[in-house]
Structure 1
Amino acid sequence: MKTGYILNGRYKIKNTLGEGGMANVYLAYDLILKREVAVKLLRLDLRDDPGAVRRFKREAISLTELAHPNIVSIYDVGEENGMQYLVMEYVQGMDLKSYIAKNFPFKYERIISIMEQILSAVGEAHAHDIIHRDLKPQNILINVNGQVKITDFGIALVTSEYSLTQTNTLMGSVHYLSPEQARGSAITKQSDIYSLGIILFEMLTGRVPYQGETAVSIALKHFQNEMPSVRDFDEHIPQALENVVLHATAKGLTDRYASVNEMANDLSTALSLVRSSEKKWLPERNNDEETKILTPLREKDLKSNRKVPEDNADNTKKEKKTKWSRKKKWLIFGISFLIFILLSTATAVGLMLPKNVEIPDLRGMTEVEAKSTLKDLKLKVGSVKHRYSSKYYYGQIVASQPREGTNVRQNSKVALVLSEGQEKFKFGDYKGQSYTTVKNKLEAKGVTVLKEKTYSNTAAKGEILGQSISKKRKVIWDDTTVTFTVSSGAKEMILRDLTGYTKKSAQDYADELGLTLKVRNESASSSTDSSGLTVSQYPTAGTVVQSGQTLEITLAEETQTSSSSSSSQDSSSSSKLNSFNVSVAIPYDGSAQESGSDENKTNKIEIYLQDKDHQFDDVYETLTIAKDTNVTLPFVLNNGSSGKYKIVRDGNVIAERDNITHSGN
């Protein structure tokens, strides 16, 4: 949806907040209530999919039933031109996934505070028999005040719908999937509790417990593999806090927390001293002894010894035959035994010799998981190196040497490369630089750049005056937002008419506008009413000026006429004339020339001049120019008096000057 589009005649689209598999979310402005909102719009390619439309409408129904400070509020729902949309509360901040990446590791108290808000919101949903089914950090928002807001109930179900909606399709994000969801079994409120346990695991370790190349391999681990210990990642994590993770992520529903309230109560005391020596929580085991199968004894045929009448010849033959038969049996037994020993020895030697094994794919595992996997294959961990990675979290394996799929002998060593997380760079100091240049440079690195304008009498327009991030702080470019304070230049103001102002009043006005006041005195007769007041100014009234410019005023000064001789001298002095010329440059303006015209547009110039012989209201001279032109203006003034001129180009005043005297022309 394009920026500026007005949905339903009310919601004006400003920009895109995010794109998902089922819907896109936009920031919009409510033209009626004058507030920002989030608009969730079903993707156009799904508007003819009954299942997608049903899930989209289900989210609206779920949210309208829920009113909780930690659940995103819904304001409106509707359809326009076949487009299904929801209008929701706009949460200014970031999702929990980004919050973990930016702030990990953070204090256990903060983790518990976030989890308690999440549990409170999920408890409210469960109280209305609504199961979220897709709890993950990306669906948990944290606003600028640190308040948690859960969103995206797109695949939530009420418990009464189970029998109608159960399929073998995996719904929800596989990293946070409960074992029963992975098996396609019936989903209960405890399925949400399992996901909450995985979220708590991620906040404590900075990663999810199970990694894999495919969604299926990860799903299998949820109901086949034991939950990794968070204390293997950080031994300082209290055992009681790890027990909450283990209890929430138990494979069996009978071992798992029965409700989110039970989990919240257990979590609230996890850091208390009373539980400091708590043992590791283990699920209940079946202690019944294994049934032993006894092999039945075989009966032996007992033969009775009978006495036979002695017959010497026959007895001798029989005796010899019996002896030979016995020797033959012993010979066969001896040979067989020897062959058995040789074969056993060969087999034992063969078993003891190292075999060839294939190195598994260790990427995404922790060092502990990799050691266990390699140990099962009778391989050893060799050297461990570290490098930055934008794909794998801190502590995950980036690569192995030899690499996966390579055949090696058992007992061989495998070198590991562990992720240091994304590389951080020193932000730097951009004060005094051009905002446009810095913005282009940082945006090319992935930084979000914002601007705040302010007036400045000392900095040029567009110059950076301040930045919201310290120059020494190390940041990940893609996850960074900076706000620059940028100069708008000096503030422009329109001068008022200062005629009749006293010197003090003019000074106060100049100080208010940040102007530098320059005062000139002009003689006046003792009978004048303007003595000590401003009689003229430069620049003239109505002129646009900026802070720091000079404002020049002329004050009338009274002259005493105490004797006829001095009056005669003044009269003689005032009758003395001063003649001089003032050169003025008139710039040509060709901006209004018609496109494609070969002839230059001409400017009409009108010159107004005031001296002893000319009145200011009359046009002194009219010119037509087609280029920059210099003119010379002749002035004839009585001693002590001043003149002025004004240049008008095509009806617009382009130059004006008062207080022109022979000494300061």
Structure 2
Amino acid sequence: MEKPFKLALMDTTVADPLVGRVLDGRYRIESRIARGGMATVYVARDIRLDREIAIKVMHAHLAADEDFVQRFIGEAKAAAALSHPNVVAVYDQRTDGEHVFLVMEYVPGRTLRELLTERGRLGPRAALEIMQPVLAALGAAHRAGLVHRDVKPENVLITADGQAKVADFGLARAESASKMTKTGLIIGTVGYLAPEQVLSGNADVRSDVYAAGVMLFELLTGYLPHQGESPLAVAYKHVNEAVPAPSTAVPGLPPQVDALVTRATAHDPAGRPADASAYLAAVAEVYNGLPRDFDERVAEASRNVTAVLEAPPMAPPAADGRTAVFDAAGTMPAGVPAGRPGGAPQRTAADKAIGAITGKYVLIAIGAVAAVILGWAVWYQTSGQYEHVPDGIVGMKLATATKQLEDKGLTVRRGASVFSDRAAKGTVAKSDPLPGTRIAQGRTVTLFPSKGRTPREVPDVQGKTEDEARQALRDKGFSVGEVARQGSQSVDKGKVIRTRPVAGTKVSPDEPVVLVVSTGMSMPDLRGMNADQAKTRLESMGLDVKVDKRDEQGKPPNTVLEQTPAPGTGVSNGDEVRLVVNKKDCLIGNYFCDDGNQDQDKIPVPGVIGQPFDQAAQAIQSSGFRVKVRSRFGGTVAGQFPLPGFSAPRGSEITIWG
């Protein structure tokens, strides 16, 4: 069993070879905090982010045990999935050679065990105040399907500003994977084990509730309810004996506080609160119903009872005028002058009568204290008119929740919108006071609307197919909204170019993610272009060019007559493109013969490559030709046909493109 996880006590008695080392090239070990049965915990510094962290390193002799390794790594997966202010965060899980370790939030301060040792026990309000953040942390784990399995004061850290954080989910398991627990293996600390853990080794969220109930008993009384000479004896008591009401040890505790303990520690799990969140609602209700000075009243009543019970009875006046003081057994203590000479006094009828009167006053004092306590209990139950914040208010439409509360005579205030994984966007995410809390009529309940689930990072799906990207987004809890299509020179057709919002952005999963999918490269219009130029251009795009030839009168030779795919079609690297090229070769000298007639009026073709389009068009027209602009990318002409230096019939068409 692993020893308590303590971040407040530095253990520097033995030189540690890991101190001073840098693990995984990033985490510099600075000092050892504690050493347990499964791992050693260190204070370290994250060199990359320049922050102080805690590192839990598995003992080397356990690293060879596959079950231990899986359990250790399971801690990282379980705890890293939780994001809650009252849970010690797990940042990373790494392996460096033989060292398997976790990187965690460093929490300076002390454990609840140390606080309890210092104070002995806590008043009911103080105990319930500490239990609420602990149960809030466990509730977050239970909603995520996780069971802590080792709830105890050693695993509750108290920061310097009084914040409580639950640590060490090393024994936690996802409920869906609970069968990983070995048969016969009891996981947990014996003083807090639920009966079902002792009998079968199985645990669910109600086992954590049981342990929390035992911990509350310990906070209220200063000791565990079941004790024995061996762990086996304690385990036997968990199965066969009920946890007593804490008021049997601390007079003055109201029945509502007793009920919190006895209900949470019921032998039958069905008799306990369903999970830590349900237990939190019950604890909060009792806490809110206790007067602010209740702890002081209980302490004062306890002191009064103690003073009365410990006061020695007074004997009648002695013969010399002095009064003798008797001890609790009714005899005179040594060294106290006797009422008459000759040894110990003898109890006369008068003495006994006075003793009876004294006993009567003791009973009256006890009765008076009991009356005060009963009065507090009656006040708690009956003073004022009370209502409960409805249990099902979370997830309810805001208007419906408001009406329900106002119908109960409560005032409703709308708080700031918050993210919530429990409530859909626009419904009630949480309330203050919590659901189930008993409050007086006329009090204000603040409702906090949900603005969607807690933001998380949009995964990077660039380069995936549309189906692969949809699945990756679903796996992270996102849905796909619009699918936009866009051409791309670098991303193949059908693959994702990017998302909106971009990958890595934190957004609520309630907001649909837009996929921008590539239609591939746009097929250029090559008709009328010189075949050699067209082929070179297509090959530079990574396309597989196939050329077919045919004779066609009236068209320049070696020019593209047709193309497949058509202009504007999306194509990807490696796609096949077919060109139909005019094979009629009628080039004689520097003259084209379009129809075999060499007597046509032919003039030189001007060169306009590199000129602005408007200037090029004017030059072509001034030379006696017509202009056709096939495409216009950029501001200048990138190519022309026929090429400069050749001749063509006057009035024929010259094609330019950019």
Q: Tell me the TM-score normalised to structure 2 length.
A: 0.41
Q: Which has the larger radius of gyration?
A: 1
Query: Which structure has more strand as a fraction of its residues?
Result: 1
Q: Tell me the TM-score normalised to structure 1 length.
A: 0.40
